[in-house]
Chain A
Amino acid sequence: DAEITQSPRHKITETGRQVTLACHQTWNHNNMFWYRQDLGHGLRLIHYSYGVQDTNKGEVSDGYSVSRSNTEDLPLTLESAASSQTSVYFCASSESGRSTDTQYFGPGTRLTVL
């Protein structure tokens, strides 16, 4: 069965360190997204990609970067981790650019920045 996976599931790091969260999907979807989930804010979009070599900034992109070198993967990098980036991170994918398409979510990565 097709799926979307994230790794690691839990990560503890220190302020100032670079951290990369992995996202891998086997749906062969063109679109991939990264969200963060914080109490009281729901999910907020960090970055998204409509295909290989395409990346775009979302609502809360400062301090984050992504790259899309193939269809299956969209790693999220925190260049210099800050305590404000402690959150739960979700990756999602969808087939195409139609507004009716469903986004499918991964299980999430809980990141703690000390």
Chain B
Amino acid sequence: GNSVTQMEGPVTLSEEAFLTINCTYTATGYPSLFWYVQYPGEGLQLLLKATKADDKGSNKGFEATYRKETTSFHLEKGSVQVSDSAVYFCALQDRAGNMLTFGGGTRLMVKP
């Protein structure tokens, strides 16, 4: 079956530090890949997505590249801000159905 593995948190960084959150997946076929963000007390919001190999999704300074050869979709940001503190979820959506499979989530804490 499908699965998503992402690094466990919490990840604690100082403001303006470089961020990487690792995500790898197992799926049949060619899924679409997503990063969602959950701010405290809120629902999930789409951060970025990529729908085919070598696509790069980007939004709000965050980037992730769909790497089919390593089955990965790592999230990066060059300079984090305190307002980026949240829980980040990697997810895949396969072509057989329209269902998301989520990783366990990574909590990011950014200190001033």
- Residues of chain A whose beta carbon lies under 8 Å from any beta carbon of chain B: 31, 33, 40-45, 48, 50, 58, 90, 92, 94, 96-108
Taking a contact as CB atoms under 8 Å apart, the answer to whether B94 and A99 are in contact is yes
Q: Within the complex, which residue of B34, B94, B99, B104 is in contact with A40, where a contact is CB–CB below 8 Å?
A: B104
Decide: A99 and B93 in contact? CB cutoff 8 A: yes
Q: Using A94-B98, A107-B43 as known contacts, say yes or no to A102 and B103 having CB atoms under 8 A apart.
A: no
B residues sitting closer than 8 Å to A (CB atoms) are 4, 31-32, 34, 36, 42-46, 49, 51, 89, 93-95, 97-100, 102-105
Would you call A48 and B89 a contact (CB within 8 A)? Answer: no
Q: B95 → chain A, closest Cβ, in Å? A: 4
Pairwise interchain contact A99-B45, C-beta atoms closer than 8 A: no
Q: CA A44 – CA B2 in complex, angstroms?
A: 12
B44 touches which of A44, A45, A96, A105 (Cβ 8 Å): A105
Given known pairs A90-B43, A100-B32, A106-B43, the reply for A45 and B51 (CB within 8 Å) is no
Whether B104 lies near A42 (C-beta < 8 A) is yes
B36: shortest Cβ distance to chain A, in Å?
8
Contact of B103 among A42, A48, A100, A103 (CB under 8 A): A42
* Contact yes or no, A43 B102, CB < 8 A: yes
Is B98 within 8 A of A41, CB to CB? Answer: no
Q: Is the CB of A97 within 8 A of B98?
A: yes
Q: How far is the CB of A77 from chain B (nearest CB, A)?
A: 21
User: What CA separation (Å) do A11 and B44 show in the bound complex?
Assistant: 20
The reply to whether B51 and A100 contact each other, CB–CB distance below 8 Å, is yes
Which A residues lie within 8 Å of B94 (CB)?
99
- State the Cβ distance, A74 to closest chain B Cβ, in Å: 14
A33, A96, A104: which contacts B99 (Cβ < 8 A)?
A: A33
Q: Who on chain A is nearest to B103 by CB?
A: A42
Closest to A58 in B: B99
- Distance between B42 CB and nearest chain A CB, rounded to angstroms: 6
Q: Which residues of the other chain, B, contact A43 by a CB distance below 8 angstroms?
A: 44, 89, 100, 102
